[in-house]
Amino acid sequence: MTPFGMAVRSLRERKGVSQKQMAAAIGVSPAYLSALEHGRRGKPSFDFLQRVAGYFNIIWDEAEELFMLAGVSDPHVSLDTSGLPPEYTAFANRLARVIRQLDPQLIEQLDMMVKNASKPS
C-alpha cells in the first residue's frame, strides 16, 4: 500500500463507503480504485485527484496533503543518475536491490536524513 492508498482508504472508511460506491461516484472502475489503494497503479492524474477531493468535500489543506501524498506514492520509481559521480549510480542500484529487506526503522532514519539534507541552509 502507498501513502496515497492509505489516505484514500481512510477517507472512504470515515465516509462509510465501499470501493465500489466510491468508484461509481467518481467515474472509475472498482478495480482501478483498488489497484490505487494497494499500490499496484502509478501516480493518479490531477483530474482524478480533484474528483476524489470533491467527492469527499475536503478542505483545501487536506486536499493539498492528498495531492502531496499522490506525488510520493508512485510504486515504480525511476532514478536518473546520468551526469552524477559513479558512487551515486552504485548507491541507487544497491538501494533498489535491498529496499524490500530493510527494517522500517532504518527506512525512517534514512528518510529523515534525506529530508534534512534537502532543507535549505
**3-71 CATH choice from 1.10.3720.10, 1.10.150.130, 3.40.1360.10, 1.10.260.40:** 1.10.260.40
When computed from its CA atoms, the radius of gyration of the chain, rounded to whole angstroms, is: 17
pLDDT tens digits, one per residue of 102-116: 999 999 999 999 989
pLDDT tens digits, one per residue of 59-95: 888 889 999 999 888 878 888 999 999 999 999 999 9
Q: What is the pTM of this model?
A: 0.70
Residue 16 Rama label (left phi>0; alpha psi -120 to 50; beta):
left
Of residues 20, 1, 13, 6, the one with CA closest to residue 66: 6
What sections of the chain are H helices per DSSP?
A: 3-15, 19-26, 30-37, 46-56, 60-71, 86-98, 104-118
- Cell triple for 56: 469527499
Ranges of each domain in the chain: 3-71, 86-118
